[in-house]
Amino acid sequence: MSLVPEQACQGRDLKKSHTLPTLPHTKLCGGDTYTITKISIECEPVPSMAAKVFGAFIVCLIALVVGKDIGPIKEMRTSLTSEVQLGIDLGTTLSVAAVCVQGNVSVIPVEGYSLTPSVVWFDNETDAHEVGAAAVLKRGTHADSVVYASKRLIGLTKADIDKASESLPFVLNTSNGILIELHSGKKQVSPEEVGSLVLQKLKAAAEQSEVLDWFRRSMGFKFHSLTVSVPVTFTDDQRDATMRAGRLAGFDQVRLIDEPVAAALAYGLGRTKEAKEVLVFDLGGGTLDIALMYFSKDAETFFVDATGGEPLLGGEDFDVIVADLLLKDVNDESVSTAFRSCPIMWQKLLVSAEKVKKELSLTDSVEVCLPNINVQDSPCSHSSTVTRNQFEAKSRSKLELAEKAVLDVLEEANVDKLSPLDVVLVGGSSRIPAIRSAIRSILPNARLHYEDVDPDQAVAIGAARSWGCNV
């Protein structure tokens, strides 16, 4: 990607050089090199923020008197836009938005939460839809009108779909592109549309957010550009489809950043003055993505030495393990059978299991009341206790898969597992203590990074930091 000076200058206020990452848009293979280009741009000096706010206040007053959106207000909007960057981690399970305002990065709450489920419910008759927690609630009752994990489908070709169809939880129409069938085929949506609705939700929350100062909010601030993260293994088609989702969501300019690069940037590892070998281990809801990168000494170049992971290993597998453990205490065979045979009951059990799993990251033992089978709000008829030891014992094969994936990546890059690597643990499932211990035991000399940045938010923070946000 190259910027001509006029484009780069547009939206920059101060007379200074910017070191900007050129973000890879092509499929990554072990050994590929990407250059972080230094672009020196001479821009006209502009007034300080205080002067701008005061100036704009006067302009607003005049506009109020004159009664229309006069030219200087438009200019002010443009100049304020330039100091704010939006980064979105469009996750398979959960999405996160972060904003960099004049060098400070903040995660944007959406309806009070930093994590928004990447789930969309579509109405059968109209264009009505719900995104996030409201759509998740509909999964229990309107399973055939709710789309989740659409990132697994974005940009896939018909041939990819044919190969993976057994592991995809959707009915698909592949006659003209890839469409997800809803309401028993009465409605069809593309994965890009689903992604764009999630992006729109986060965009709207960011535009209303307290993080933007009063002045921006009251000017009806709109984001026009977005940096969105994609898995390092995404193909050109998947990257193009993600860009389309961004444009559908109303962004004029969409930049992509690879998730592990964003995670490393969130920890400031890509911008140090010493050369670094960084392994990013991202265990999310449905996938494990690993990338080994080398950031050169001048902090201008990084190499992707190797990538790997497990496309079908993530938090959902651990939910199933806990759900099975929850049923172990139920003596009544008919109750366990009811949970296992009724999709809605199984779904409810998985929701409880996920909560128990998260608790087990903090405590040794959790007791819960199982969702009631027959009567809503009746007293607890079946309770169950799961311990961390039981969970870890049942998770052993999954942990071994994760360990093997890390060792394979190191082997591919010819890097010794005893070397002093920087290892960044991200993704919500990296909070599982057994995962952290497993990585520590196979990489005894590594420096593990997981405490300073919230593992759910690291990719979004890195995306917001990646472009012109000098923190």
- What residues line the site for ligand ADP (CB under 6 A)? 91-94, 284-286, 315-316, 354, 357-358, 361, 427-429, 431-432, 456
Q: 429 contacts which partner out of ligand ADP, Mg ion, none, CB within 5 to 8 A by kind?
A: ligand ADP
The span from the CA of 152 to the CA of 285, in Å, is 12
Q: In the complex with ligand ADP, which residue's Cβ is closer, 12 or 357?
A: 357
- Give backbone dihedrals phi and psi of 420, rounded to 5 degrees, phi first: -80, 70
Q: What Å distances lie between residue 366 and 167, 329, 395, CA to CA?
A: 31, 13, 17
Closest distance to Mg ion from the beta carbon of 91 (Å): 4
Rounded Cα–Cα distance for residues 87 and 457 (Å): 11
Please give the backbone phi and psi of residue 402, each rounded to the nearest 5 degrees, phi first. -65, -45
Nearer to ligand ADP, 345 or 434 (CB): 434
Token representation of residue 135: 């759509």
CB of 432 to ligand ADP, least distance (A): 5
> Could you say whether residue 462 binds Mg ion (CB under 5 A)?
no
Q: Which of residues 81-140 bind Mg ion (CB under 5 A)?
A: 91
Number of residues binding to Mg ion, judged by CB under 5 A: 2
* Residue with the shortest CB distance to ligand ADP: 315
Closest approach of ligand ADP to the CB of residue 148, in Å: 10
The CB-of-315 to ligand ADP minimum distance in angstroms stands at 2
Q: How far apart are CA 175 and CA 185, in angstroms?
A: 13
In the bound complex, what is the minimum distance in angstroms from residue 426's beta carbon to ligand ADP? Answer: 7
The single-letter code of the amino acid at 251 is F
For Mg ion, give the closer residue by CB, 149 or 356.
Answer: 149
Q: Rounded distance, CA 121 to CA 132, Å? A: 9
Nearer to Mg ion, 371 or 427 (CB): 427
For Mg ion, the binding residue among 117, 155, 195, 284 (CB under 5 A) is 284
Query: Torsions phi, psi of 156, nearest 5?
Result: -75, 150
Binding at 428: pick from ligand ADP, Mg ion, none (beta carbon under 5-8 Å per type):
ligand ADP
117 binds, among ligand ADP, Mg ion, none (CB under 5 to 8 A by kind): none
Identify the residue whose tokens are 């190191």. 410
389, HSE (Cβ side, Cα atoms, 13 Å): 0
In the complex, the smallest distance separating the C-beta of residue 89 from Mg ion, rounded to whole angstroms, is: 6
Binding partner of residue 357 among Mg ion, ligand ADP, none, CB under 5 to 8 Å per kind?
Answer: ligand ADP
Closest CB to ligand ADP among 188 and 430? 430
Of 151 and 382, which CB lies nearer to ligand ADP in the complex structure? 151
Using alpha carbons, select from 300, 296, 259 the residue that is nearest to residue 280: 259
Place of tokens 């100049």: 79
Half-sphere exposure of 242 (CA within 13 A, CB side): 27
- Candidates 6-14, 147-155, 220-228, 279-287 — which segment interacts with Mg ion by CB under 5 A? 279-287
Nearer Cβ to ligand ADP (193/316)? 316
Q: Could you say which of Mg ion, ligand ADP, none residue 466 binds, taking C-beta under 5 to 8 angstroms by partner kind?
A: none
Pick from Mg ion, ligand ADP, none: which does 93 bind, CB < 5 to 8 A by kind? Answer: ligand ADP
Binding mask 48-87 for Mg ion (x = CB under 5 A): ----------------------------------------
Kindly list the residues in this chain that would bind Mg ion in the complex (CB under 5 A): 91, 284
